[in-house]
Amino acid sequence: MNNKTDRSLILLAAQGDREVFGELVRRHQSAIFNVAYRMLGNRHDAEDAAQEAFLRAYAAFETFDTGRPLLPWLKRITINLCLNRLQKERPTSSLEDLQLSPTEPRPGPEKQMVVHERVEQVRTGILSLPPRYRAVIELRHFQNLKYKEISDVLNRPLSDIKSDLYRARRMLAEQLKDLK
C-alpha cells in the first residue's frame, strides 16, 4: 500500500475502506498536526485537533471531489476546526500563558539557542493574533491560497479577508520588530 499514489488510495477510501484511510492518515498526519500547532500553539491541543480533523474528513468523504488533491482539503478542514475551537474558548490565552514546546530541529550548540528563541518568538507572535487573523495568515502564508480561495474557505467576504490580512501582517510586524 505504501507504493500507491494518494489518488488511488483516495478512490478506495471513498468507498469506505478503513485500512486505506489509515494509510492516508499515516501519510498526512504530520502536515495536519503542524497546521493545528501553528493555529493552537500547543502539542496536546494540536494532536487532538488533528485527530478530530481526520475523523471529520472521514465522515465527510462522500462530499470530497476525488479528482482533487487530498492534503489541501484536509488542511482546510483543520484550519476551520481550529478557528471554531479558538472562537469558542474566548478570551484567547494571553502571551504569558503560551508555553511552546521546545521541539525545533537543533543545529549547533550556541546557534541553537538563538534559532530556538527566534522560532519561539515567531510562533508567539502568530499566537498573539486574534483567531481570524491567525487563520488568514495560515491560509495565505503557509497554504499559499489566493485571496478568493481564502474567502471561500472561511466563508467570509473578500474585502474582510484583504483587510484582516493587512492588519494581521501589521500586528505581526510589530511583534517581530525586535527580532533580528
Partner 1 sequence: VKHLTETQFNQYLDYELDEEAQLQIEAHLEICAKCRALFNELGMVFSTLAELPDVPLDRDLTASIMANLPQTQQRPALWRQPAFIMQSILTIVLLILSMPIFRIWGPRVVVWFQELKLPTAQIPSLPMLLDHLATLLSPASYLPFTVPWLPELPAQLSGPNVNIMLILLIMTGVLWMIGNVSLLRNGSGAAG
Contacting residues toward partner 1, per CB under 8 A: 16, 18, 21-22, 25-26, 29-31, 33-34, 37-38, 43, 47, 50-51, 54-55, 58-59, 101, 103-105, 119, 122-123, 126, 137, 140-142, 146-147, 162-163, 165-166, 169-170, 172-173, 176-177, 179
- Residue 154 near residue 135, CB atoms below 8 Å: yes
CA torsion, points 116, 118, 121, 126, in degrees to nearest 10? -100
Q: Is residue 38 within 8 Å of residue 16, measured between CB atoms?
A: no
**In angstroms, what is the minimal distance from the CB of 32 to partner 1?**
9
**Closest CB to partner 1 among 90 and 180?**
180
Residue carrying C-alpha cell 500547543: 42
Burial of residue 137 (CB within 10 Å: 0-12, 13-18, 19+) is buried
At closest approach, how far in Å is the CB of 91 from partner 1?
25
Q: Which is nearer to partner 1, 93 or 115 (CB)?
A: 115
Residue 166 CB, shortest distance to partner 1, in Å, is 4
Query: Cβ of residue 154: shortest distance to partner 1, in angstroms?
Result: 16
Based on CB atoms, which residue is closest to partner 1, 21 or 82?
21
Beta strands, E only, the chain: none
When the beta carbons of 95 and 173 are compared against partner 1, the nearer one is 173
Closest distance of CB 130 from partner 1, Å: 16
* Nearest CB to partner 1, comparing residues 90 and 141: 141
Contacts of the segment 138-146: beta carbons below 8 A, 24+ positions apart: 138/35, 138/38, 138/39, 138/79, 139/79, 140/165, 142/35, 142/38, 143/35, 143/72, 143/75, 143/76, 143/79
